[in-house]
Amino acid sequence: DTGVSQDPRHKITKRGQNVTFRCDPISEHNRLYWYRQTLGQGPEFLTYFQNEAQLEKSRLLSDRFSAERPKGSFSTLEIQRTEQGDSAMYLCASSNGVHTEAFFGQGTRLTVV
């Protein structure tokens, strides 16, 4: 296993377009987390899944954001009608239990122009 994989690594989109990111966690990990990181800041929690169930969503996750983990394996994060304020690094992490080490992917850098 090569770790947590995110695709694409970079995405440039025009304001108002929809974008979708994918995260493939470490295969035996049942927990998957999404974070957003803006320049000069620490990552901020967006949402997490235990298997296919989405158990918590941050208030940061507006109605334009949706995440899925349909079979408890990979996850997608979709942003509809992107805004310039959505420009950030989107990080995915997975773990095999609560309070165990979370392994992070390299992130998807979104730029909205």
Partner 1 sequence: AQSVTQLDSQVPVFEEAPVELRCNYSSSVSVYLFWYVQYPNQGLQLLLKYLSGSTLVKGINGFEAEFNKSQTSFHLRKPSVHISDTAEYFCAVSVYNQGGKLIFGQGTELSVKP
Contact positions vs partner 1 (CB under 8 A): 4, 31, 33, 35, 40-45, 48, 50, 55-56, 91, 93, 95, 97-107, 109
Residue 80 or 109 with smaller CB distance to partner 1: 109
What is the nearest approach in angstroms of partner 1 to the Cβ of residue 3?
A: 9
Distance set, CA 74 to CA 34, 60, 77 (Å): 12, 22, 10
What is the nearest approach in angstroms of partner 1 to the Cβ of residue 99?
A: 5
DSSP per residue over 55-87, as a string? EEE-TTS-TTEEEE-TTSS-EEEEESS--GGG-
CA-to-CA distance for 96 and 112, rounded, in angstroms? 33
What is the nearest approach in angstroms of partner 1 to the Cβ of residue 105?
A: 5
Residue 44 or 80 with smaller CB distance to partner 1: 44
